[in-house]
Structure 1
Amino acid sequence: MIEQFSNFHFLRPWWLLMLPVAVVVWWFWQRRSDALSGWRSQIDPKLLEALVVGRESHRDWRPWLLLAAWLLVVLAVAGPTWRLEPNPFAADAQPLLILLKADDSMNQTPPEPSRMERAHLKIEDLAELRQGQPLGLIAYAGSAHLVLPPTHDTEVVAKMASQVSPAIMPKPGDRLDLAIEQATKLLAQLQQGGSLLVVADTAEIDTQAVAALSKLEPSFPIQFLSLGGDDSPEGVSIQQAAGKLHAEVQALAVDDQDLTSVISFAERRAFQGLAGESDRWQEAGYWLSPVIALIVALSFRRRRVVTPEGQS
């Protein structure tokens, strides 16, 4: 309990500036609303007390109650909090959008199987590892095309990926920037966070394209699954592109170690595209509402006093 209250703070602390304003306004209002203020300078206070008709013998607490209610309203609006609550998005896995290169270089052999076929097998394994978690697919070469938006039916994604090949692409090339742009806009529309996985043998992206991508908001984490060797010219091109995009590179593995790293990275960085953090502070100001209502109700009491002629 003590540890929880050590985190006590206000979500909107600037509202606390209204506290002294409330006190000053209340003080001026109290002076102007005093029905006996016109008599106090003319009649002895004890005599004045005896002349007031219907005045209670005890002190009138209503102005103080109203001041207390006002101050509590300011505190409530300021958003007192000391406890975190889970973000509603945190309970669900975030989308992983695959950007599959489908240029002619992916069909080159030897070795066997071709890089395209290895990409299909890896995506099939990834879909199995991410069963029930949103997975999407974009195919790109000289242009980029959405094959399937993020869906929880990962088996469908694997089947659609198996049909992607250079033969169905309308334009040859390596426009990774177009694929990243399309993926970023799609995830931004979904407002669920997420990350990008580029599955390619090589990658080409110039400084101008990187500058254009840097202007996209929000940005999402990117990682590469490199189908070429680390020391090969193809692998070097992947490393260079990743450096420009501040992305991670996962080398192709014969087992699922590469995919395990991909999933781990996605889980760690998926919330980067969200507007807020994975956890948020729970509002506690509403707990003051019953107290404020009770104070206001108690402050409504009738009082009769004699006022000087000409005053109201």
Structure 2
Amino acid sequence: MIDAWNSFHIIRPAYLLLIPVSFGLAWIWHRSRDPLRGWKNQIDSDLLDALTHHDGPQSQHWWQRIPTVAWLLIGWTVGIVAIAGPTWRVEANPFAQDAQPLIILLKADETMESAALTTTPLERATLKIADLAKTRQGDPLGLIAYSGSAHTVLPPTEDTSVVADMASEISPAIMPVAGDALDQAITEAGRLINRNEGGATLLIIANQASVDPKQVAAAHQAIGSPPIQVLSLLPEESQETASLQAIAKSLGGTRVPLTVDDQDIQSIVQYAERRSSSGIAGQSDRWQESGYWFSPLLAAMVALSFRRERTSTEDVSQ
């Protein structure tokens, strides 16, 4: 309730300027409809009041005792507020894509199979990709493997389980060239983005970077600088992690440290969702019109404003 109140605003506030105009029109209408307007300048007000017939309030319902001009003012005010567009809720734009692809750039050189740790960086990467595939079920997920060259393993697909299965089969043994061609992987991701004719978020999963950050930044800029994150697979205090931090900084992205739980995966997914929701001309969300809720109130006011006309025969009988 508090969030709704804080989000409440008027979409077209200029229409509220019609409210004082409606008060002026109601006052003019009321004066023109007064049957005693001409007599008030000719007869003393007390005498005119004594000569004027008034319906007894007992013969009327409460809504019939409300002056017509009051009904007009209330109805016009409610209608103007409805047209102005009160809102407090956001709805998804039907023309916006539900979810943009997340393309994984997985490093697969010899250093990713280092046995210095309990689990190799490549095994850690495979497990995290499997978790990511489960979390993003139904949302496009793509995979690129790189070492000294870069190759598309799978273009973005909604069958994320296939991406996890393919990632588990990647190893340095199947890579044709040794090295660290992260810039080529980013260029390859750009081709996938152009093929899908839409935006995407990139995720680099690596243990270290041995490539010039300026070279990587140039490749990233050449494909339109899509949002990018780096998932580092080694301990925070290592020099290898520092090299990935330098890459993330040069790309204007963020580095996500590896965690034993799914905090890192949630951070990646939330980042991709935020970028997706703001990626289509910055208008993937819009405020939902709520003025139509005033329609039943206006209908009820119109119904209650009807009055049965009194005939001269009824007046004489009374």
The interval holding the TM-score normalised by the smaller chain is 0.5 to 0.7
Instruction: State the one-letter code of the partner of 1:204.
Output: S
1:143 to 125, 149, 161: 149
Measure the CA separation in 2 of the matches of 1:160 and 1:4: 48
1:99 alignment partner, SS class: strand
1:197 alignment partner, SS class: strand
Contact 1:143-1:175 at 8 Å conserved across structures: yes
Stretches of structure 1 lacking an aligned partner (at least 5 in a row): 9-80, 283-312
Contact 2:187-2:223 at 8 Å conserved across structures: no
Instruction: State the one-letter code of the partner of 1:244.
Output: S
Structure 1 residue 187: Cα displacement: 1.4
Q: In structure 2, what is the equivalent of residue 231 of structure 1?
A: 237
Q: In structure 2, what is the equivalent of residue 300 of structure 1?
A: none
Contact 1:177-1:210 at 8 Å conserved across structures: yes
Measure the CA separation in 2 of the matches of 1:85 and 1:271: 12
Equivalent residue runs for 1:1-312 within 5 Å: 3-6=10-13, 86-88=92-94, 90=96, 92-206=98-212, 208-210=214-216, 212-270=218-276, 274-275=280-281, 277-279=283-285
Structure 1 residue 103: Cα displacement: 0.6
Contact 1:220-1:272 at 8 Å conserved across structures: no
Measure the CA separation in 2 of the matches of 1:99 and 1:88: 30
Structure 1 residue 186: Cα displacement: 1.3
Contact 2:217-2:250 at 8 Å conserved across structures: no
Structure 1 residue 184: Cα displacement: 2.1
Stretches of structure 2 lacking an aligned partner (at least 5 in a row): 1-8, 16-83, 289-318
2:142 alignment partner, SS class: strand
Query: Cα gap change, 1:155/1:209 in structure 2, threshold over 3 Å: closer, same or farther?
Result: same
Query: Cα gap change, 1:211/1:163 in structure 2, threshold over 3 Å: closer, same or farther?
Result: closer
Number of aligned pairs? 210
TM-score by length of 2: 0.60
Could you say which structure has the greater relative contact order, defined with CA pairs below 8 angstroms and 6 or more residues apart?
1
TM-score by length of 1: 0.61
Structure 1 residue 219: Cα displacement: 2.3
Query: CA RMSD, aligned part only?
Result: 2.7
Contact 2:150-2:184 at 8 Å conserved across structures: yes
Structure 1 residue 252: Cα displacement: 0.6
Measure the CA separation in 1 of the matches of 2:226 and 2:98: 17
Query: Cα gap change, 1:260/1:216 in structure 2, threshold over 3 Å: closer, same or farther?
Result: same
Contact 1:193-1:272 at 8 Å conserved across structures: no
Query: Cα gap change, 1:199/1:7 in structure 2, threshold over 3 Å: closer, same or farther?
Result: farther
- Percent identity between matched residues is 52
CA deviation map 1:246-295 (0-9, x unaligned): 1111111111111011101111113565445324799xxxxxxxxxxxxx
Measure the CA separation in 2 of the matches of 1:89 and 1:95: 17
Structure 1 residue 206: Cα displacement: 1.9
Query: Cα gap change, 1:155/1:244 in structure 2, threshold over 3 Å: closer, same or farther?
Result: same
1:223 alignment partner, SS class: strand
